[in-house]
Amino acid sequence: MSLDWLGAPCATPDAAIADTARAHQTQLTKPPGSLGQLESLAIQLAALQRVPNPAVEQVWISVFAGDHGVADEGVSAFPQVVTGEMVRNFATGGAAISVLARSLGAQLEVVNLGTVNDPGDIPGVRRAIIAPSTANFCLGPAMSEAQFAAALAAGADSVRAAKAAGAQLFIGGEMGIANTTAATAVACALLDEPPSRLAGAGTGLNAEGIRHKVSVLERALAQHADAVTAAERLRRLGGFEIAALTGAYIAAAQAGLPVLVDGFISTTAALAAVAIQPQVRAWLLFAHRSKEHGHARLLQALDAEPLLDLSLRLGEASGAATAVPLLRLACALHNGMATFAQAGVSNA
Ligand SMILES: O=C(O)c1ccc[n+]([C@@H]2O[C@H](COP(=O)([O-])O)[C@@H](O)[C@H]2O)c1
Ligand SMILES: Cc1cc2nc[nH]c2cc1C
């Protein structure tokens, strides 16, 4: 499987529509700029969707699940079997993202990329099994080249399905025990930061657990110090679901589908996507600042101003789903408010 598609050009946001939308905002009955990020969001969505009246009624959520060999190093507060167990919970409707997706009327797709405790064929789960788990990246590359290509392609497949279903917004989520360790490794390699700066509690490690996680990460980064490209760093240190998110973000930008990025792991995938194809950045909106320690640094690296800061640290697209009502309200205001002229309100 070739990786050539990653470098294909992205769609271009419509600059003329952005100008029109910006001018329209100044005519609405409020002091200019007073709706802050709700204004910039509507302008950005109009430019990305190439329409004067943006909308995010049709929301597509793909949650990618995969297990991690580095779980063997004791870097998570939870056992590895939880990944497969949660795949079933996503599909049967009991997980946080299941509830959020239902409340939003969003389409939820669950993609199993490989879990040690494989729940098998379940209605509502797309099986795109690569292997039961990645390899432990303390010992060798997390993924073979073929596995890496398959994971990226699985993300692009989800974007194709989202486009075909008429989605106006793509949200990616992830589930994988130990994936904060994998994401931290990728982010440290991409940003040249030490693990002590980016490692956090994940599912709930205590201070001693975080110290151990940092020492595991230091070993892994030393082992893979010769990986220089972003793609190679992602292959050696990432995971199936992280690579799938990276593939999805790149494919969404190429297809002209706006993306709402979730938490720490998703933002690491976004960082990799932008490092591989810089034009992707324009297509990314950022939902929230996760409680995971390193997230603020990743957002800063992407020059991202997230919408929410609710101390969430769940993943599985929950933070992005929580921000969808704000996007919908931003569109409603942009499309529905009266202008000064229409309402007979005096302008400054
Ligand atoms: O999205 C986040 O910011 C986030 C922060 C901490 C943990 N998580 C979730 O917790 C799991 C990984 O945590 P851990 O401790 O097993 O590395 C994985 O399934 C993620 O979805 C997610
Ligand atoms: C129960 C549980 C649910 C999750 N959802 C995303 N990551 C998770 C990690 C755990 C442990």
String of DSSP letters for 204-226: T--HHHHHHHHHHHHHHHHHTTT
First to last CA, the chain: 60
Closest ligand, as measured to the CA of 313 = 1
Whether 7 has a pLDDT exceeding 80, the answer reads yes
Across residues 231-247, what is the average pLDDT? 99
Residue from 63, 68, 112, 203 whose mutation best tests the ligand 2 pocket (most atoms within 8 A of CB):
203
308 beta partners: 288
Give residue 204's pLDDT: 98
Closest atom of ligand 2 to CA, residue 85: 1
Closest atom of ligand 1 to 175 CA is 19
Residue 127 · residue 121 · CB < 8 Å: yes
Residue 104: its pLDDT value, please?
A: 99
**CA 279 to chain centroid:** 16
pLDDT confidence of residue 1: 77
The three-state (H, E, C) secondary structure of 329-348, written as one string: HHHHHHHHCCEHHHHCCCCC
pLDDT tier at 181 (50, 70, 90 boundaries)? very high
Interface predicted TM-score (ipTM)? 0.99
User: Residue 203: its pLDDT value, please?
Assistant: 98
Q: What is the pLDDT of residue 186?
A: 99
For residue 240, the model assigns a pLDDT of: 99
| Beta-carbon contacts of residue 174 (< 8 Å; ≥ 6 apart) | 63, 64, 65, 66, 241, 242, 245, 262, 265, 266, 269, 315, 316, 317
The predicted pLDDT at position 57 comes to 98
- Mutate-to-test residue for ligand 1 from 89, 90, 203, 245, highest number of ligand atoms within 8 A of CB: 203
Supply the residue whose CA is at minimum distance from atom 3 of ligand 2: 86
Residue 89 CB coordination number (10 Å): 19
CA separation, residue 14 to residues 17, 47, 49, 333 (Å): 5, 5, 8, 20
- pLDDT at 100 (0 to 100): 99
Percent of the chain exceeding pLDDT 70 equals: 100
Residue 348's pLDDT is 85
Average of pLDDT values for 220-235?
98
Q: For a substitution probing ligand 1, which of 80, 112, 179, 289 has the most ligand atoms within 8 Å of its CB? A: 179
Structure confidence by residue, pLDDT tens digits, 201-227: 999 999 999 999 999 999 999 999 999
Ligand 2 binding residues, C-beta < 6 A: 78, 82, 86, 175, 203, 314-316
Q: How far is the CA of 86 from the centre of ligand 2 (A)?
A: 7
> What pLDDT, on a 0 to 100 scale, did the predictor assign at position 2?
87
Average pLDDT, the chain: 98
Cite the DSSP H helix spans in 50-111.
81-92, 96-104
Helix-then-strand count for the chain, H and E? 14, 6
pLDDT in tens, 16-66: 999 999 999 999 999 999 999 999 999 999 999 999 999 999 999 999 999
In this structure, what token pair is assigned to residue 86? Answer: 């949660």
Which helix (H) or strand (E) element contains residue 230?
A: helix 230-237
Mean pLDDT in residue range 257-277: 99
Q: C-alpha distances in angstroms, 191 versus 68, 136, 256, 294, 343? A: 22, 22, 27, 11, 50
SS3 125: strand
The arithmetic mean of pLDDT across residues 265-294, rounded, is: 98
**Cα(169)–Cα(182) distance, rounded to whole angstroms?**
27
Q: Within 6 Å (CB) of ligand 1, which residues are found?
A: 76-78, 174-181, 202-203, 262-265, 290, 292, 295, 313-316
By 3-state DSSP, what share of the chain in percent is helix, strand and coil, each rounded to 5? 55, 10, 40
Could you confirm whether 316 is annotated as catalytic? yes
